[in-house]
Chain A
Amino acid sequence: MLFKDQILFVLQHMKKNKLRVTMTVLATMIGCSFLIVLASIGFGIQETMRNEILNQEQITQIELWGNETLSDEDKTFIEKIEHVNVVLKKESINGYIHSKFEDREGDSNGVFIDMAAQKKLPTNLSEGRLPEAENEIIVGYHYAQSLFNETDNAEIERKSKAAQEQGSYYDGSEEGYKGEILNKTVELQFVDDATEEYSEPKPYTIVGILKKPSYDWYIDSSIMFSDTLKNAYPSITTSSTTLIYVDSLEHVLPVLDILKENNYQVYSQVEQLEELDLFFLIFKLGLVFIGTIAILIASIGIFNTMTMAVTERTREIGVLKAIGASPNLIQRLFLMESTFIGILGTILAIGVSYFISFLANAILPHIVSYALSDESIMEHDITFSIIPFSLIIIAGSISILVAIFSGWRPARKATKIQVINALRQEL
């Protein structure tokens, strides 16, 4: 029998039992969409968390831990490792910096930075340039906003009280200096945390402003000094960190390995990503397993439909065999029918799953934000469901294979029908 005729033959029979076939296709569709949507949640959450990590810090950055300051010898060794671009020393000042500008004052964290190394990195400034002299500084994106005068303080106090009464919190973002701060001179004092001793006030020129932090909630009012200034303040204590920048993402792990082999305590977000990927691989496998159970339940429907089809068509099978149809052909015709049911159900399921996924991503953030009374959730880029092509292939294959397998036994039963018994059946 020509393949085209086999298809037409099967379609003709499916058409005759429209209702039963439609219900079975629907059951398959529900099972398969359940699998796709369930697994898509795993993909969605994983993607959201990955993005979260990738946004946190530069992903090609390796952090070197340890209490001792990095020696020049160590620095040279690390710089010689292949694919290491920059070794950047940062020294966070223990204590804080008191700023005065016009009638405004504010407190910030301070950091000494190796500006020569920083220059080799892609710019981290939103405007201006890096300091070239000791009396030049760069400030955080929100530095100007955190300089308050007395009017601002009174206003903040008033708004905080009002917010407190309503059970919320006011962060003072509406006050602060609104003018242009770049190229302005501010008076700074280093304040020792423990003794509350203020250093001699000195003027510094703001030559650069850092980029806005990737998190909306993070207020960056820090001040960055050139590390050459540190010699002028020998009494200031610092906590140092060293950041190693690798040229590209795929070289982070090999560089990490070399550093670990040489007994450096290092950490990179990439390691966290790897652990995250492993965790989500297991998580997604679990979801696929649960979803497959739904498909298996749908397969019972296919099995029933096909068994009914074989029973109903016993006489027809007998006639076909009598006029020369081989057992293989009979089996193939029934297997094709269950495969068609599987394919139809899967195609519909793919469409339905994309629709549900779209709805979930559009509506769920609103629902979660409403349920938790937290509007900031809407500001985060949360994806609840993602359907990658690989998921379609995996779920589609599972669904179609299960459909074929469900039709296999009824198809075998059809081949075993005896012509004489079949022809004896009443019309």
Chain B
Amino acid sequence: MIKVDSLKHTFTIGKKGKENRVEVLKGINFNIESKEIVAIVGKSGSGKSTLLQILAGFLKADSGSIIINNTEIAHFSEKESAAFRMNHFGFVFQNFQLLPGQTVFENIELPLKLKGIRQPVRKKKVQEILKKVGLMEVEDHYPNELSGGQQQRVAIARAMITNPPIILADEPTGSLDSQTEQDILLLIQQLNKNEGITFVIITHDEEVASIANRKLRMSDGFLVGGTKYAF
């Protein structure tokens, strides 16, 4: 499903004229199969977040290849990346990234709106998903009226509303207490099992990584451990 080959990326940082080039990804190779939960673990600055951003198309790799469902996406334009994201990815972020001025219903509905789906269909789909993540009671609430766990459930619901084959999660439980963390991890496992969604989770938390079928460990821009290839 996802095949990454020789992926390299360098950041240029510092004042103009005194720039420093920092090689963040130094040739990454791995693959991920459909319906897997893969955790990419590593310390801060190991390059795991950069890897996720390149997978998502937020950043462009300097070199290498990313093939997702037989499509090479590493050299996509911004417009092509956006269209590809809409159809293939859902996103879950550490700080939820919900739109504060929109209700739970409207936040979840947003990707469907972007896809140009009509209102009656949207309503039906959102209500189905609200049931799945257990948020029927709060559909008219605003994000700031919800707990951290509820907000992350909304974010997960938004990520899966368009039935994407892959959900990319960046520290999905980073802002949650341990009890809520367990709830969210359970939800991820259920969705993976019941809906067949592939999860790629970036985390530094070993407990979060423990729900994964495979772990990819990153250190200093390299994949240093774990099973790089699914068999």
Q: Does A1 contact B (CB under 8 A)?
A: yes
CB nearest to A326 among chain B residues: B82
A1 to B110, CA, bound (A): 10
B58 contacts A418, C-beta separation under 8 Å = yes
Q: Does A80 contact B (CB under 8 A)?
A: no
Q: Does B79 contact A (CB under 8 A)?
A: yes
Q: Does B42 contact A (CB under 8 A)?
A: no
B118 contacts A322, C-beta separation under 8 Å = no
A261 to B101, CA, bound (A): 78
B116 contacts A323, C-beta separation under 8 Å = no
B86 contacts A324, C-beta separation under 8 Å = yes
In chain A between 290 and 337, which residues have their CB closer than 8 angstroms to a CB of chain B? 315-316, 318-329
In chain A between 1 and 48, which residues have their CB closer than 8 angstroms to a CB of chain B? 1-2, 5, 9, 12-13, 16
CB-defined A-B contacts under 8 Å, sample of 15: A2-B118, A9-B113, A16-B101, A319-B97, A320-B110, A324-B111, A324-B115, A325-B82, A326-B79, A327-B78, A328-B79, A420-B58, A420-B59, A423-B97, A427-B95
In chain B between 112 and 148, which residues have their CB closer than 8 angstroms to a CB of chain A? 113-116, 118
A210 to B118, CA, bound (A): 77
Q: Does A348 contact B (CB under 8 A)?
A: no
> A322's contact among B87, B91, B95, by CB below 8 Å, is which?
B91
Q: Contact size class for B? A: 20 to 34
A5 to B85, CA, bound (A): 20
Q: Does B99 contact A (CB under 8 A)?
A: yes
Q: Does A419 contact B (CB under 8 A)?
A: yes
B97 contacts A322, C-beta separation under 8 Å = yes
Residues of B near A326 (CB, < 8 A) are 79, 82-83
A197 to B113, CA, bound (A): 101
Q: Does B158 contact A (CB under 8 A)?
A: yes
Q: Which 5 A-B pairs have the closest CB atoms?
A: A324-B86, A419-B58, A326-B82, A324-B85, A323-B111
Residues of A near B115 (CB, < 8 A) are 1, 324
Residues of A near B86 (CB, < 8 A) are 323-324
Which of A's residues lie within 8 Å of B, judged by CB? 1-2, 5, 9, 12-13, 16, 315-316, 318-329, 418-420, 423, 427
Residues of A near B53 (CB, < 8 A) are 419-420
A323 contacts B158, C-beta separation under 8 Å = yes
A316 contacts B91, C-beta separation under 8 Å = no
A5 contacts B97, C-beta separation under 8 Å = no
A37 to B85, CA, bound (A): 52
CB nearest to A328 among chain B residues: B79
Q: Does B93 contact A (CB under 8 A)?
A: yes
A221 to B99, CA, bound (A): 86
> B99's contact among A319, A418, A419, A420, by CB below 8 Å, is which?
A319
- Min CB distance A324 to B, Å, is 3
Residues of B near A2 (CB, < 8 A) are 113, 116, 118
CB nearest to A418 among chain B residues: B58
A317 to B71, CA, bound (A): 26
A327 contacts B158, C-beta separation under 8 Å = no
Residues of B near A324 (CB, < 8 A) are 82-83, 85-87, 111, 114-115
Residues of A near B93 (CB, < 8 A) are 423
B113 contacts A1, C-beta separation under 8 Å = yes
A319 to B91, CA, bound (A): 10
A322 to B57, CA, bound (A): 9
Q: Does B100 contact A (CB under 8 A)?
A: yes
A420 to B52, CA, bound (A): 11
